[in-house]
Amino acid sequence: EDQVTQSPEALRLQEGESSSLNCSYTVSGLRGLFWYRQDPGKGPEFLFTLYSAGEEKEKERLKATLTKKESFLHITAPKPEDSATYLCAVLSDYKLSFGAGTTVTVRA
């Protein structure tokens, strides 16, 4: 069975304090790994898709990387508006499995 584990569960950062979120996975044939951002009471918002080990993607203060067993979401010099829950999902065959998420709080 596909497994997606995100760590840490929660992360409290000071504005400007860079950090990384981890998503480790066990799937039978990875077809893609996705990062989403979710604000309280709202639907997830797509951030990145990664398809193969070594791939990297960037968007503003966020950078996602992928290895054969895990993905990292690096947040550089975060701002309070980066506070959200970040979800990782892996696609194998036709099934998309989500991790439980990492809730990031950035204090000014």
Minimum gap (Å) between residue 37 Cβ and another protein: 11
Handedness of CA 72, 49, 107, 38 (dihedral sign): negative
Minimum gap (Å) between residue 20 Cβ and another protein: 21
58-65 long-range contacts (CB < 8 A, ≥24 apart) are 62/35, 64/35
The smaller minimum CB distance to another protein, of residues 31 and 69, is found at 31
**Block residue for tokens 């203060």:** 61
Minimum gap (Å) between residue 84 Cβ and another protein: 13
Give residues in contact with another protein (CB under 8 A): 31-32, 41-46, 49, 51, 87, 89, 91, 94-101
